[in-house]
Amino acid sequence: MIEENVVSSAGTVHAMNEPEIVAAIRDAGFTAMRRDMTYAKRFEPAIAG
User: Is pLDDT of 48 > 60?
Assistant: no
User: Is pLDDT of 39 > 90?
Assistant: no
Contacts of 43 (CB under 8 A, 6+ apart): 34
Which residue, among 43, 19, 47, has the nearest Cα to 33 in the 3D structure?
A: 43
User: Is pLDDT of 13 > 50?
Assistant: yes
